[in-house]
Amino acid sequence: MILLLLTFAFVHRQVAITEARLDVGVCYGMIGDNLPSPAAVVQLYQRYNIGKMRLFDPNAAALTALRGSGIEVTLGTLNQDLPSIASSVDAAKTWFDTYVQPFMSDVKITYLSAGNEVVPGDLAQYVLPAMRNLQSVVNGYGYGGLQITTVVATSVLGTSYPPSSSTFSDAARADMVGIIKFLSSSGSPLMINVYPYFAYASDPVNVRLDYAQFTATGSVVQDGSLSYPNLLEAVVDAFYWAMEKEGVTDVDLVVSESGWPSAGNGDFTTPVLAQTYNQNLVKRFRTNAGTPKHPDRSLGGFIFAMFNENQKPAGIEQNFGLFNPAGTPVYNVF
């Protein structure tokens, strides 16, 4: 049914197809020794009308394959490159000129992320100066459509339940305050990795499956006047509350990763559960709806991940993929 609905939406609303592609994407991870070529991967995105791709590093083969595709790309720096990028604008320009600039004319790079999940941690101090330096480089080139951001996990939150009580953790707060104030000044969103699966699998007694999977028929969590039928929206609003408590109210959020493994942890990870979650996630993104706290702000994002990657740690980490390495669906989502 979801396939029919999505197909109808793309055929019937051709004028709005660009807008629709702004709100759903898939992360393209490459930690496997049996994955398709980047050219074949781009063709797979196009075949299934996946309009956005997240790349975790500036892989030249993938960026070459994306030339002229029209697929919107969120591109990450390697975490280990952050100290160099943060050291000076000249160093950031050297990095940009080497890895990004050669593709700017015919690859639609919309976001450039300074690192992935490095706050809190040893590299956290480099995120803000790296963002500032990359912003200076982008401004120098006049690339108004390329926004600088970073990706954080829910580990930056100290308290997250209920959402209105959310704050940044003591370990993350200093870095996060600088980051969100930079994003406020530049008009760029913060990217967040949100996994209801982990909350459910770690505490199935208190975290309801229907709340984690978007299948609850009514409110599950009531937070003051705000009603939450699903966990993803509660986590997103926890970030909005945490930012608001630091005086930042104008930074939007993008879900840079979310997904559900289809194997690796017994009855918590079946193809049916993974399919249910990811189908509903796609449906949620394509509504262009906001959250209970910010119904006026459209929430978009990315499914993690495109493929089952066999060189990741054994267990669930190898089983987040929508597709097998041969290009066949693990289960149907699109």
| Strand residue runs (E) in 1-43 | 24-28
- Residues with Cβ within 8 Å of 213's Cβ and at least 6 positions away in sequence, in order, are 196, 230, 260, 273, 276, 277, 280
Residue 255, beta-bridge partner list: 192, 301
Q: Which residue in the list 72, 233, 244, 257 is annotated as catalytic?
A: 257
Closest by CA to 303, choosing from 250, 262, 268, is: 262
Question: Token match 């060189």: residue?
Answer: 311
Q: What separation in angstroms does the CA of 10 have from each of 27, 71, 178, 331? A: 21, 15, 40, 21
* 72 part of the active site: no
Q: Which residue in the list 117, 233, 244, 309 is annotated as catalytic?
A: 117
Q: Which long-range contacts (C-beta less than 8 Å, at least 24 apart) are formed by 265-269?
A: 265/201, 265/315, 265/316, 268/197, 268/200, 268/201, 268/204, 269/197, 269/201, 269/316, 269/319
DSSP letters, 286-320, are: HTT---SS-TTS---EEES-SB--TTSPSSGGG--
Fill in the DSSP letter of residue 188.
P
| Strand residue runs (E) in the chain | 24-28, 52-55, 72-76, 108-116, 147-153, 157-159, 167-168, 190-193, 221-223, 226-228, 253-257, 301-303
Instruction: Judge if the upstream peptide bond of residue 313 is cis by omega within 30 degrees of 0.
Output: no
Asked if 264 contacts 323 with a C-beta cutoff of 8 angstroms, the reply is no
| Strand residue runs (E) in 226-293 | 226-228, 253-257
* 19 part of the active site: no
Residue type, 251: V
Positions annotated as catalytic residues are: 117, 257
